[in-house]
A and B are shown apart, each in its own frame.
Chain A
Amino acid sequence: MTLGLVLALAAGTYAMRLAGPLLRDRFRVSERGGRLLSTAALTLLGAFVAVSACYESGSFAGWPRLAGVLVGGVLAWRGAPFVVVVIAAAGVTAVLRALL
């Protein structure tokens, strides 16, 4: 790994991050358009969660992680505080990993 690679990754990533806000300045986005963009971002986030719950570098991440995320999701749905959700998800995953 070289500094050149790091700088190229950083520059490309920053360009993609900055492109959104700059483009957003050029157009007047309607309220409905804005809502659709938020929905698109939520869809990406959801997909990111689903993929990182299920996969580790392209192959199935194993049941313990998936179960931990699902237990966290159910707790969150039932209104548990954020901290409890995160600890429960990690705890379930760690315990299942130790047992399986």
Chain B
Amino acid sequence: MGLSNRTDRASDTARLLPAVASMALALAVIGASLGAIAVSSGVPLWLVTVMAALVFAGGSELLVVGLTTAGAAPVTALLGGWLLNARHLPYGLALGDVMGEGIGRKLFGSHLLVDEAVAFALAESEPARQRRAYWVAGVTLYCVWAPSVLLGGLLGRGLGDPQLFGLDAALPAGLLTLVLPSLRDRSVLRAVLLGCLLAVLTVPLFDQGLAVLIALLGTVAALPLPNDRRSRAGEGGTA
């Protein structure tokens, strides 16, 4: 079964490292800017660091800091953060077996379930490699996230702009790179295109988190088509 001996496993991990490291670097800069933003808007440094370690979902952390310091009610911020993180449930359904056997691996592995780790796992085809990619990416990114938030908070205002150096484009581009190989499968391509279209069109109507969940409807485009290939393929192809 795939990677049986130690050398194979070591070389497989080494293969992942450049990509995981560059993803981690981009994430570290985002984390540092979150720390800087939080501290400069009056959130205690320990609190934002604890949040980074316990929540480990950057988008929702930025949202909660932004909303509460702008004067929104805590319950609004909480609901917004939960909604934005609801996508982790379907991620977990897809990757439940990738984390490995045993309740310990599931309890710990679930906390590492972030977009980037999911993308690294799904970019592999063989189960053993998926598992390695998930754990290498998840553990690395987790170890980077909270310390970079802390460091950003310590260094302060200079880092407060997440758009510095264009790094706001780096994470989406990195995720896109990991998703692309899977799109060679026509049914996946149809689903992803329809999902992207639905999400991008519905953001102005709903919340950003809800729009991403609505994209799940795009999965129907992956179901086997009867004879009328035309309609759905055309729908997805316009994105």
Q: Which of A5, A18, A48 contacts B64 (CB 8 A)?
A: A5
Interface hit among B6-14, B147-155, B190-198: B190-198
State the Cβ distance, B126 to closest chain A Cβ, in Å. Answer: 13
Q: Is the CB of A10 within 8 A of B51?
A: yes
Interface assignment of B136: CB less than 8 Å from any CB of chain A: no
Q: Is the CB of A3 within 8 A of B50?
A: yes
Within 8 A of A (CB), among B156-195: 163, 165-180, 182, 187-188, 191-195
State the Cβ distance, A54 to closest chain B Cβ, in Å. Answer: 6
Interface assignment of B26: CB less than 8 Å from any CB of chain A: yes
Q: Which residues of B contact A24 (CB under 8 A)?
A: 92-93, 96-97
Q: Is the CB of A16 within 8 A of B176?
A: no
State the Cβ distance, B46 to closest chain A Cβ, in Å. Answer: 9
Interface assignment of B90: CB less than 8 Å from any CB of chain A: yes
Within 8 A of A (CB), among B72-103: 74, 77-78, 81-82, 85-97, 99
User: Once A and B bind, how many residue pairs between them come within 8 Å at the CB atom?
Assistant: 289
State the Cβ distance, A26 to closest chain B Cβ, in Å. Answer: 10
State the Cβ distance, B22 to closest chain A Cβ, in Å. Answer: 5
Within 8 A of B (CB), among A1-51: 1-10, 12-14, 16-25, 34, 36-51
- Among residues of B, the one whose C-beta sits closest to the C-beta of A44 is B87
Interface assignment of B208: CB less than 8 Å from any CB of chain A: yes
Q: Which of B63, B90, B96 contacts A44 (CB 8 A)?
A: B90
State the Cβ distance, A39 to closest chain B Cβ, in Å. Answer: 4
Q: Which residues of A contact B191 (CB under 8 A)?
A: 39-40, 42-43
Q: Which residues of B contact A40 (CB under 8 A)?
A: 90, 93-94, 191, 216, 219
Q: Is the CB of A51 within 8 A of B212?
A: yes
Residues of A within 8 A of B (CB): 1-10, 12-14, 16-25, 34, 36-58, 61, 64-65, 68-69, 71-73, 76-77, 81-83, 85-95, 97
Residues of B within 8 A of A (CB): 18-19, 22-23, 26, 43, 47, 50-51, 54-57, 59-60, 63-66, 68-69, 74, 77-78, 81-82, 85-97, 99, 106-107, 109-111, 113, 115, 118-119, 122, 163, 165-180, 182, 187-188, 191-196, 198-200, 203-204, 207-208, 211-213, 215-216, 218-219, 222-223
Extra pairs beyond A20-B95, A24-B92 (11, CB < 8 Å): A5-B64, A13-B88, A16-B82, A43-B219, A48-B115, A50-B196, A58-B207, A73-B173, A82-B18, A82-B174, A85-B174
Q: List 17 contacting pairs A-B, 8 Å CB cutoff, sorted by A.
A: A1-B43, A10-B55, A23-B96, A39-B191, A40-B219, A41-B95, A44-B91, A45-B178, A48-B175, A48-B199, A54-B203, A65-B163, A73-B173, A83-B18, A87-B170, A90-B167, A93-B168
